[in-house]
Structure 1
Amino acid sequence: MLERWNDAIDLIEENLDAQIDVAALARAAVTSEYHFRRVFSVLAGMPLSEYVRRRRMSVAAADVLEGKPLIDVAVRFGYGSADAFRRAFVAVHGLTPEQARRPGAILTAQPRLRLRLTIEGSIPMRHRIIDLEPFRIAGPGARIPLVYRGPNPDMIAFHRSLPPTIADQLAAISDMDDPAGPFSVSTDFAPDRADGSEFHYVYGVATRRSAADIPASFDTLEVPAHTWVVFDVAAETGFFDALQQVWADAYGDWFPSHPYRTVAAPEILAVHERSDDGDSGRAELWLAVEREA
């Protein structure tokens, strides 16, 4: 698996001055484009597009320091103008190409990614595999920006805006015990899930009631039949950290060890228990999957 992913990373390097074909990267890794993007972002700690931009600017820095015309460097790396290239350069290095040419200028390089095997997995990941027929997810929703680190202010504001009666409203339409709600749902992400990009967030329940039985003010997501992997999260302390860690463990440890890959579907995080101080609790992370060929 690692050899195939490293082949895909080599393909990125070979095409830094050309169009990056994500479908070709996925084929090199022998997986789907959706799964490739999702796993890459977890393993690299950044979306694929961000990694490519940083690598391009790291390689382009050599041309800049050699004094090549800025427009020539911009065109080589796929930018339509010197100004567009300059903005990308500043975003990575923190200074303009002109400033970079001054003696003593400090640049910021993005090292080439290389995946290596480490012996881990000593902590069992409690999970179950379940097949579900089509169902609906219904509840209040909004489009909010994605935040990779720390609290999400827009998500917090969204929950604070919910009426006191929301629990009763959701209970009135909930008719499924698995997944048990209410829960948080994330879907409709930008392809690379860049930090700050928007996604559709819903606080809702699973139901097989007709659309006519669902309040018009609620967002409704139609979920086709899928196989799901459900990860159990339990922590006596550091519950918030445990919730964030389960994503990294799922994509960094579980998927490389099992013949499944993610498919595009709503991602469900259901918190079933939580202490008053929020430091302990139990939750489930639901991800739709398919068996790899």
Structure 2
Amino acid sequence: MDWLQRMNRAIDYLEDNLENHIDYEQISRIALCSIYQFQRMFSFVLEIPLSEYIRRRRLTLAAFDLKNRNNKVIDIALKYGYETPESFSRAFQNLHGLTPTLARNAGSQLKAYPRISFQIILKGVVGMNYRIEKRDAFQVFGLEDIYNYDNIANEQGVSIPEVWQNIGKNGEFDRLRQSVVGDWWSEGNFSKELGAVLAYDSYKFTNNTTFPYLIGCYKSENSKVSGYTIIDVPASTWAVFSTLSDGTGSGNDDLRSLKNRIFSEWLPTSKFNMIDGGNFEMYCTDNDGYEYCELWYRIEEKQIG
């Protein structure tokens, strides 16, 4: 079963269970990947979280049900997973812009979000540059926190971009950068263009709705790691993509569009599957002083047959 079939069968399961409890473990079994990987692929391709898609689809169907005045609001609320009419009403108004009661009126303006399907669109205009690297196990260290997949924020409500801003202001970024001692590029067999501070995420399972994220550095022999979390990176094969990968050297691929292309263009047609165990964002500067980012994903070759 290929990537498209697996993803579309997972969508079939979601659609068949919009009126029931959705079992994330069942999605994982259908898609033949972890639920985190499924959510990652889903959000990068469609640019909305999986939970938001489910919410929109349920509230689209709820709007249809409201047109039948024999359906009670409380019954519709319970049908689509809301414990009270009040919570249903708030969610409904946030999406549709009016209350469930007003939605019953003739001529009321409502939003409808159709079901999606995954397809390969043959673009063929811009090539994707990537490389495959095999690396032995190594370690990274740094500042670790757990983030919610829906809003990409930690328990305190601070988003990942805000965390980066905060450590830049409070000096923690500089302290991290200075914690790597010596010629760590040669020790770790990294390009000299790689900056000292990197991001590493999804290297362990937390739960179905959260993921770990570490802002840190490669752990060299003399790194000053006191007070930091140390993470083991397993020996792996990596697919490496760059924001310079538009083929022109202009570096105008932003991270969002690059991730979208990786999951919608490269992954479905490649001979590799992405696997769990961590992904890197490596921040680099080329010889001309241009800053760019590399995305590193753990992969394995697809099994034939």
- TM-score range normalised by the length of the shorter chain: 0.7 to 0.9
Q: Secondary structure at the match of 2:277?
A: coil
Q: Is the 8 A contact 2:9 2:30 kept in 1?
A: yes
Inter-partner Cα distance in structure 2 for 1:247 and 1:59: 31
Q: Secondary structure at the match of 1:17?
A: coil
Q: Which moved more, 1:282-291 or 1:136-145?
A: 136-145
1:287 aligns with 2:297: yes
TM-score by length of 1: 0.80
Inter-partner Cα distance in structure 2 for 1:159 and 1:141: 16
Q: Which moved more, 1:20-29 or 1:50-59?
A: 20-29
In structure 1, the partner of 2:152 is 146
How many corresponding residue pairs? 282
1:101 aligns with 2:104: yes
1:187 aligns with 2:190: no
Change (3 A) 1:104 1:157: farther
1:58 aligns with 2:60: yes
Please point out which of 108, 111, 116 is paired with 2:114: 111
Which residue identity lines up with residue 177 of structure 2 in the other structure?
A
Deviation of the 1:286 alpha carbon: 0.8
Superposed CA offset, 1:109-147 (max 9, x none): 212112333212442222222222222111345566628
Change (3 A) 1:199 1:106: farther
Q: Is the 8 A contact 1:60 1:73 kept in 2?
A: yes
Change (3 A) 1:192 1:46: farther
Deviation of the 1:51 alpha carbon: 0.7
Change (3 A) 1:236 1:157: farther
In structure 2, the partner of 1:70 is 73
Inter-partner Cα distance in structure 1 for 2:176 and 2:32: 44
Counting aligned pairs with the same residue, the percent is 28
Change (3 A) 1:130 1:105: same
Q: Secondary structure at the match of 1:156?
A: helix
Q: How do residues 20-59 of structure 1 correspond to structure 2 at under 5 angstroms?
A: 20-59=22-61
Inter-partner Cα distance in structure 2 for 1:13 and 1:143: 30
Root-mean-square deviation over aligned CA pairs: 3.3
Change (3 A) 1:171 1:236: farther
Change (3 A) 1:160 1:238: farther
Deviation of the 1:229 alpha carbon: 1.0
Change (3 A) 1:152 1:186: same
Inter-partner Cα distance in structure 1 for 2:146 and 2:83: 31
Inter-partner Cα distance in structure 1 for 2:208 and 2:257: 20
